[in-house]
Structure 1
Amino acid sequence: MTPQNFKKWSTIALTIGLSITTGALVAAVGEQEAAKLGKELTPVGAEKAGNKDGSIPEWNGGLPKGKHKAGDARNDPFAADKPLYSIDASNVDKYKDKLSAGQIELLKTRKGYRMDVYPTRRSCGYPESVNGQTRANATQAKLTADGQDNLVQAVGGGFPFPIPNNGAEAVWNHRLRWQGEGRIEHYQTNFINPDGSFYSLAQDQWVTMPFASSKVKSPDDVQGVMQKLLNVATSPAARSGEVILGHFFLSKPNDAWMYFPGQRRVRRLPNLAYDNPIPGYENLETVDQYPMFSGQLDRYDWKLVGKKEMFVPYNNFKFVAKRPIKDIYEGQYPKRDLMRYELHRVWKVEATVKAGKRHVFAKREFYLDEDTWMLLNADQYDAQGKLWRVMEASIYPAVELGACVSQEFVSWDLNVNRYIAENATQASKDTDWLAGAEGRIDAKRFESEELRRFGDR
């Protein structure tokens, strides 16, 4: 072996040895790849160019201009758009290459279900601070290589893997999707029966996102905390005063507590993770289905299948506008006249349960919007390979935040022929997306010792 080759292979061996010792992968991409961000790629990793036939336009900066004041009707910059065509049971096969398995199932089995397709508007962009942090992460962010897929190195306030090499990296972009540094929201969780009857659980929620700050230089700066949330049930009377507190981490399992007003006790929740049912949700949603997916990655093998063009909910201003819940959610699906679908490029990720691990969903298919990394559609399969739960999220640009946001999502349980409409804000006060950055959230809210005080207010 020549001295040059010896030096080369010694360097490679040292790199491999360090990777094994630290349990961390090498950086996602090198400088040459990262240099594409802001050029042929958007600052967060999407393709800037449109598609060949122009049905997906070029990205030109994203966010529409405008202002929004809390309490006012949110302006729809695309209100004049008309549907290009509709997809239903009669023509679903014509468009099947641009639909998920779950979408096809709903179109074929839910009478009257249709998808109105509108012109594609690439309306999503992010503040320069987010773009800058994302660029830094492109060559720095790392996951553990021990099968846990925990995030161990990244700067805050940006997407960790704008040019992903595997499915786990793409899913981490969704988990750390930027929607501000904290918010105050008021919403209903609606449990809808096939005959149109429903039960609603109203909730107030405070969310802080420590790792969403551009001041964060490493997970250690925030003690590894990704987010904390405090959820207080406000109605019906039988549930009023119930409180759930959750701490979500970048590299270890969640911590959670619940306050039961009838018992006046705070209890630790040891199982607020993975496929355990969310307390009080009628077994229609697992913990890691909220919102869309927020769970640990260690029970699955994650495959980055690639990109595809797909019809997804987008710019859904009409759907999220203020109106009574009964005027939105019907017997088997939300009212079709309120929904807007557009053709966008999405990343498809497949999750398959690892050998020796267990989860009620043996396989999951995720579709992440390339412009935002938000998970907009998800299909969950049981151990026999049968489609079980189908999920869909809405998305729209919040001009006051300078970013796109996603709250409302729907999950159909095909086995029991019911669906749950989660984070439904239409009948509630506006979400305060700027609450975290502007200091309107008290950090004491997220301590377990404070739970009883909130439940007894």
Structure 2
Amino acid sequence: MKSFPRTVLGGALSVILSVQLASAADANASANQLTPIGAELAGNADGSIPAWSGGLSKAPAGWSPGHGNPYAAEKPLYTVDANNLSQYQALLPEGQAAMIKTYPGYRLDVYPTHRSCGIPAQVAERTAQYAGTAKIGSDGWRLEQAVGAAVPFPKPTSGIEAMWNYKLRYMAKGRRAQISLLVREGDGALSEFKQWAYEYYPYNNPAVENPQGADNTEAKLLYNVLSPSSRAGEMYLVHASLDKPQDSWIYFPGQRRVRRAPSFAYDNPIAGTDSLYFVDQINMFTGALDRYDFKLIGKQEMLVPYNSYKLVDKSNKYEDLMGQDYLNRDAQRYEKHRVWVVEATVKAGKRHSFAKRKFYFDEDSWNLLHVDMYDAKGNLWRVQEGSIWADPQIQACTGFEYVSYDLIARRYIADNFTQEGEVLDLTAGLEGRVDDKMFNPNELRRRGER
């Protein structure tokens, strides 16, 4: 068993840190109300959402990522489907209601709620210490003065602040996995694009004291295509920044050349997905925030995917998970949680195929659990659903696998699926298997020529 970082185990430290989150003027009012990163400490009025008590801080016996489920013995409390949709529709994003109405048999199995997302002690302490330090630039979207390993805006007052909380959520310094992008074709065939994925998050490093300490970089992503054979050896490198659109490069093995890829951003389609999937849908949302205005709607109780251990389990096979119209419902788990809701609309003078997006963020981790996407006429176009599960090795929750449904094309994709991959490693950045040296164009060329 790996040694785990220090953890926030209970309410006492939570209360102390929640007081520190506030200024001197409102510290007393905030005591006992917030977790270290700004979620409500208490449960809800009817008890269906419990109080936060530190999260899943210790791995169950025999558990490792992709193996084991701490809640395997639980049964659904109820199911939401076409027969009772009106009873629960107020708890659903519009996209989930649309899926139930569109596809016969689509359902949500709702289980007991577990607030399993922990917070590393260092992240809790730094969030308290530096609360009020981060600023939004004069252009309305760039991030300034934020420090590493801390939630920049534990008490967000705007949509853009909530977006940055998501983009800088704690996921440890890096991870690596063999992932698959899966597309169920119209004739029933299953297409698989298998890759090595390496992800590096310089802002999860507590040594970073300002944006310059991380070269103004939010994340670095490297994808090495393994299959199909026609694309094996292709590599994609992305640098997501705090203050400008992302930089991207592609390595083509036939040419043995690395080229800049300015089109690998925003709403440009990803190759091989029949335009079902845009670049900025990677990891639920990636890239610059400059094309939208973001409005903070507030916090709501919703039924959302949570504790997705059944989905990520390596006993699953892709053929069984990928139904013709939607993901196997038996593999999905939903719980009632509080989520932050942000509405994004395209700025005047800017363009994007999605004229509006609606984001739903988990209050306990800032992971993105659901996105509804609308066309220029205001029609719901795509529905993106994330996942979330606690990893005691990093003392935090991760969102990894996700699906995107296109209600117009009546098709969908799944990405970041690791069930049939050999490796799912979320501690790679902490233990040196992923580091900053891997994420530069010269490394693409070196890897390609090996």
TM-score scaled by structure 1?
Answer: 0.90
CA contact (8 A) 1:68 1:399 kept: no
Deviates more, 1:35-44 or 1:367-376: 35-44
1:198/1:253 CA distance change after superposition, 3 Å: same
Deviation of 1:280 (Å): 3.5
**What does residue range 15-30 of structure 1 map to in structure 2 within 5 Å?**
30=23
SS at match of 1:138: coil
Q: How does 1:163-182 map to 2 (within 5 A)?
A: 163-182=155-174
Map of 2:381 onto structure 1: 388
Residue 211 (structure 1) shift: 1.2
**Once the two structures are superposed, what CA deviation does each residue of 1:359-388 show, in whole Å capped at 9, x if it has no partner?**
111011111111111110000000010111
Task: Give the corresponding residue for 2:284.
Answer: 292
2:11 is matched with: none
For the 8 Å contact 1:313–1:393, the answer to whether it is kept is: yes
Q: Which is worse superposed, 68-77 or 39-48? A: 68-77
Tell me the secondary structure at the aligned position of residue 175 of structure 2. strand
Aligned to 1:48: 41
DSSP-derived class of the 1:412 partner: strand
Aligned residues: 429
Find 2:210's aligned residue among 218, 222, 229.
218
**1:192 is the counterpart of 2:184:** yes
Q: Confirm whether residue 302 of structure 1 aligns to residue 278 of structure 2.
A: no
Structure 2 unaligned residues grouped into runs of 5+: 1-20
**Deviation string, structure 1 residues 308-337 (Cα, Å, up to 9, x no partner):** 110000011111101221111111111111
Aligned counterpart for 2:126 among listed residues 130, 133, 139: 133
- Alpha carbons 2:63, 2:69 under 8 Å: kept: no
Is the radius of gyration larger for structure 1 or structure 2? 1
Residue number among 323, 331, 335 corresponding to 1:330 in the alignment: 323
CA–CA distance in structure 2, aligned partners of residues 140 and 72 of structure 1? 35
8 Å Cα contact 1:229-1:246 kept in structure 2: yes
Q: 1:95 to 1:437 in 2, by over 3 A?
A: same
Written as runs of structure 1 = structure 2, the 5 A alignment for 1:10-409 is 30-33=23-26, 39-66=32-59, 74-147=67-140, 149-194=141-186, 196-322=188-314, 323-409=316-402
1:379–1:141: structure 2 CA closer, same or farther, 3 Å change rule? same
> Deviation at 1:279?
3.4
1:173 to partner: Cα distance: 0.7
Question: Cα deviation per residue 1:370-421 (whole Å; 9 max; x = unaligned)?
Answer: 1111110000000010111100001000111111111000001111111010
Residue 122 of structure 1: how far off its partner (Å): 0.6
CA distance 1:35–1:301, shift in 2 (3 Å): farther
Matched, 1:423 2:416: yes
CA contact (8 A) 1:312 1:376 kept: yes
Pair 414,137 (structure 1): closer, same or farther in 2 beyond 3 Å: farther
CA distance in 1, matches of 2:274, 2:87: 37
Off by >6 Å, runs of 4+ in structure 1? 34-38, 68-72
Q: Distance in 1 between matches of 2:284 and 2:321?
A: 20
Which runs of 5 or more residues in structure 1 are unaligned? 1-27
- Structure 2: how far apart are the matches of 1:115 and 1:190? 22
Deviation per CA, 1:247-294, whole angstroms, max 9, x where unpaired? Answer: 111111211100111222211011222212223433122121111111
Q: TM-score, normalised by structure 2?
A: 0.91
Secondary structure of 2:424's aligned partner: coil
Q: 1:72 to 1:97 in 2, by over 3 A?
A: closer
TM-aligned CA deviation for residue 31 of structure 1: 4.4
SS of 1:119's partner is coil
Moved more, 132-141 or 69-78: 69-78
Q: Percent identity?
A: 50
The 2-side partners of 1:74 and 1:105 are apart by 33
Structure 2 counterpart of 1:108, which letter? Answer: K
1:119–1:424 distance in 2 versus 1, CA, 3 Å: same
- Range with greater deviation from structure 2 (271-280 or 311-320): 271-280
Aligned-residue offset at 1:66: 1.6
